[in-house]
Chains A and B, each alone.
Chain A
Amino acid sequence: MERFGGGALARSRSVELKGIHIPHNKATAEQETTVMPLPSKVMLPMQQHVGAPCVPQVKRRQHVEVGQLIGHSDARLTCDIYSPVSGIVKEIRQVHYSNGWSDEAVVIEPDGEQVVHESVRKPEVTDFASLVEALKHSGIVGLGGAGFPAWAKMNTDLSSIDTWLVNGAECEPYLSTDYREMVEHADTVLEGIKACLDFSGVPRSLICIEDNKPRAIELLRQMAADDPRIDVFELPARYPQGASRVILRNVTGRSVPRGGHLTDVGALLYNVTTMSEIGRYLRTGMPLTKRRLTVMGDAIARPQNLEVVVGTPISEILEYCGCAPGPRKVIIGGPMMGTTQVELDVPIVRQNCGLLAFGVNGPVVPRQTACIKCSRCIDHCPIRLSPIEIHKAYINRDTARLDELMADLCVECGTCSYVCPSKQPLVQSTHLARALLRAEQRKAKGRR
């Protein structure tokens, strides 16, 4: 706690984990959010969160309304899915993702009426339990990209939590959706934070923002001035300041022990858009049905921050933003952690924050050459791992060595692969190494 202070702590240059400079490319940052008209169809996959997939609660040809429950599961960790439009359920079919996974999706044809369902009403929140209960029916998940159900994250013993971190770093290049949320909806951001602090009893909250967003810092600092519990912490605008473990270390000086969670060291971390959605939900009772995306890339004629309904197919978004025919690379998310898409008939889900499309002149990663042991990956890893050693151990499937190197601590920010002069697939190997370690641990458990 001694690292906490008043405004004096909000100096950014002295943070411990410095990260690397990557060109920000946030050309749309100062553009007002535009709203995309309703698409011709809305696809709602049943898995838009961490946890158990939902089960469709509607039938084919059924009429649904805005805010009506579409997907629900009785599992312990899950998050309900609500209809963003009013219309007719056309079909329930499989949707295939580029990573080889597929999922059940409810396809709705909007009728354009946007009639709000009767179940949508302002939740009554009187204490912490009722806040968690209300958020269970909000459809709000971690909107920074993780998709962890918001209610589940706070549904734990909060007595030892002393800091509620709010992540407005947005360190991914290109993306500016969190920034727009802070600038356009600072009021709901603060309402969400205040409600969370009020009902949970957590003593303070820090909104962490990279210093390339001075407007957001200034605005939130001004608006939060009347509440001594809320402060703004400036982070250097260097990648990956937004990674949860990096933010925790840089703001509080603590580190999450291996295999642990942020709550183990007295902190909670919510994305700033998640907080804003919580504030909005408590005000209106309308579940999460919309999502702001940064649509950019050299194939996009009209780059913008676009508000779309959840479930909009990416092909329609690309068309709306004037994507040149035959893009070469389409990425959901940012260029550092996003996933490329080979199939454009997939929907935007709740936790997506960006859609990038590049033509033939888009980013090309050069050919891989021999490792020259420059140790750039080791020097720049925000978690201080040894990516090249993990890569070698993974090639040998040496799980003992992977365990020794603690490959499972990786946050997969991709810094190692970015800085590598010989373009080794470092984060890619580490991703596979983590899966290998998990499988090994499961096996060991089964044996016992």
Chain B
Amino acid sequence: MALFKRHEEPVNLDNPANNPLVLRPAPQISSAVTTHIIMRDVLVALAPATVMALVNFGWHAALVIATSIASCVGFEYLWCRLRKTPQTIGDLSAAVTGLLLAFNVPSTLPLYMVVIGAFVAIIMTKELFGGIGKNFANPAIVGRIFLAVAFPVAMTNFVPSSVLLPEQAAFDLVSSATPLAASAQPHSYLRLLLGIHAGVLGETSAAALLLGMVFLLYRPVITWHIPVAYMGTVAVLSLLAGKDVVAQLLSGGLVLGAIYMATDYSTCPATKRGKLVFGIGCGLITCLIRFFGNLNEGVAYSILFMNLLVPYIDQLTPNIPVGGEAIMAERRRAKRGGKAHE
């Protein structure tokens, strides 16, 4: 009965010394999935693409990847250390950011630039906004865009894949950033799938990235909504514009962006409907940039732009609770009616 006595200080009932029995609100069980496991799954999903990057670009790719991951994790460690907050590097999210950032740069990028990119991603984009779950834009995307703006030459210094195929010369490796600008050739689809062409580390092998997507959908870490809406929109618009649909889908950062960057939890809408809207928006902007813009590649900018719209998408696409259908319809009517009066 000691429990019901008045204590001077609150009693910590989780402490066995105070009481052998735990008092805790339901539910008493919880799924095994934690942030750490989700991020570990993402790293596993990215493993095939990492292997392909190493095959295509050799030891220099390994160096870039190692530098990027180490500096991202290092910056997060220092941030937590200096601010005396609980250490968060254990959740592996910084490692994921590091790997994605490395996937977004060419293998020739000087390593100090990789470190700068990691600083922009982790400190400026993630931690300054409150850490994991609170950033409004994808850290790796902002890191990539920062590097592309700050070091445009180094960021487009692509080297050909070290895996040589006879028709290697078909690609113009200097003037065009990616195979997007090169005219598609019948056998180049296989090259695009395997990533045997010039480009940044992770964007090249669509097959490896798609393999990772299957794993992520199976676990499930992501849902199909964003990747399918994004790539589907690009496919449909390419078809309408009379472009080579397969080449548009498989080249550039589209597969990487649609599966791994646009699906970033904290920077995509919460509901499935919102995710579809987000994916379609990303696809639309990507095509506008690709078809009409000066850039060859629009994936990073389109995702960043849609990141900024997420709060609005969230507001417009809430789930309709079971039993709240009538109230939601009423609210929508009231909103529309209000607009009509203005």
Report yes or no: B38 in contact with A406, Cβ–Cβ below 8 A.
no
B165: interface (CB < 8 Å): no
Is the CB–CB distance between B265 and A427 below 8 Å?
Answer: no
Contact with B along A385-397 (1 / 0, CB 8 A): 1101000000000
Q: Count of A residues near B, CB < 8 Å?
A: 66
Question: In this assembly, does A1 line the interface, its C-beta being within 8 Å of a C-beta of chain B?
Answer: no
CB closest residue in chain B, given A344: B21
Minimum CB distance partner of B275 in chain A: A375
Main secondary structure of the interface of A (DSSP, over half): loop
Instruction: Using CB atoms, name the residue of chain A closest to B318.
Output: A386
Most buried by B among A342, A372, A409, A422: A372
The segment out of A80-88, A183-191, A301-309, A376-384 that lies at the interface is A376-384
B326 at the interface (CB under 8 A from A): yes
CA separation between A61 and B95, bound complex, in Å? 72
Measured CB to CB, the nearest residue on chain B to A413 is B27
How long is the Cα–Cα vector from A100 to B11 in the complex, in angstroms?
14
Inter-subunit contact A371/B133 (CB<8 Å): yes
B6 at the interface (CB under 8 A from A): no
**What is the total number of residues of chain B having a CB less than 8 Å from a CB of chain A?**
46
Contact in complex: B21, A341 (CB < 8 Å): yes
Q: Please state if B29 and A258 are interface contacts (CB–CB under 8 Å).
A: no
Q: How far is the CA of A309 from the CA of B19 in the complex (A)?
A: 29
Nearest B-chain residue to A357, judged by Cβ: B21
Which residues between 316 and 339 of chain A lie within 8 Å of chain B, taking CB atoms?
326-331, 333, 335-339
Which chain B residues border A406 with CB–CB below 8 Å?
321, 323-324, 327
Please tell me if A72 contacts chain B, counting CB pairs below 8 Å: no
| B211 at interface by CB-CB < 8 Å | no
Residues of chain B within 8 A (CB-CB) of A257 are 323, 325-326
Report yes or no: B26 in contact with A336, Cβ–Cβ below 8 A: yes
Complex Cα spacing A412 to B320, Å: 18
With a cutoff of 8 Å between Cβ atoms, the chain A residues found around residue B320 in the complex are 384
CA distance A422 to B88 in the complex (A): 12
B30 adjacent to A372 (CB under 8 Å): no
- Cβ contact within 8 Å between A363 and B28: yes
Contact A427 B27 (CB under 8 A): yes
B25 close to A431 (CB less than 8 A): yes
Chain B residue with Cβ nearest A419: B31
Q: Kindly state whether residue B24 has any CB partner on chain A within 8 Å.
A: yes
Is there contact, CB below 8 Å, between A363 and B29?
Answer: yes
- Among the 9-residue stretches B113-121, B148-156, B199-207, B266-274, the one with 4 or more Cβ atoms under 8 Å from chain A is B266-274
Q: Is B78 an interface residue, CB under 8 A from the partner?
A: no
Residue of B nearest to A383 (CB): B322
The answer to whether B236 has its CB under 8 Å from any CB of chain A is no
Among B13, B132, B323, max chain A CB count under 10 A is at B323
CB of B221, distance to nearest CB on chain A (Å): 8
**What CA separation (Å) do A81 and B35 show in the bound complex?**
49
Chain B residues proximal to chain A, CB less than 8 Å: 1, 3-4, 13, 16, 19-31, 33-35, 37-38, 88, 91, 93, 131-134, 223, 265-266, 270-272, 318-327
Q: List, sorted by A's number, 29 A–B pairs whose CB atoms are closer than 8 Å.
A: A96-B4, A100-B4, A255-B323, A257-B326, A258-B324, A260-B323, A327-B20, A328-B22, A333-B26, A335-B27, A335-B29, A340-B23, A340-B24, A342-B21, A363-B30, A366-B34, A369-B91, A370-B132, A370-B133, A372-B93, A373-B270, A379-B272, A384-B319, A386-B319, A409-B324, A418-B30, A422-B34, A422-B35, A431-B25
